[in-house]
């Protein structure tokens, strides 16, 4: 029996990056109704981008700035 690869390829990681919840894609968040006090410094969309970048780089955290 062949041995299964345990490490995901870059393409597989890119497709599944930051998908740690029940949504298939990020919903649109209106800036005026967000709990984040400054939307360019952090909002759910930026949080998902940061998590996706961290997943692709093999890290724990990433920082996105506007």
pLDDT of amino acid 48:
82
Predicted confidence (pLDDT) per residue in 47-65, tens digit: 888 888 998 898 999 988 7
pLDDT value at position 66? 65
pLDDT tens digits along 6-41: 777 888 888 877 666 666 666 666 655 556 566 666
Burial of 29-61, coded b for 16+ CB within 10 Å and e otherwise, reads eeeeeeeeeebeebbebbebbbbbbbbeeeeee
Alpha-carbon torsion, ordered 52, 50, 38, 23, to 10 deg: 20
């Amino acid at each position: 029996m062949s041995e299964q690869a345990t490490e995901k390829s870059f393409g597989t990681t890119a497709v599944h990056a930051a998908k740690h919840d029940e949504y298939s894609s990020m919903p649109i968040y209106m800036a005026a109704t967000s709990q984040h006090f400054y939307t360019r410094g952090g909002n759910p969309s930026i949080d998902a981008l940061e998590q996706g970048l961290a997943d692709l780089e093999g890290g724990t955290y990433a920082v996105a700035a506007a």
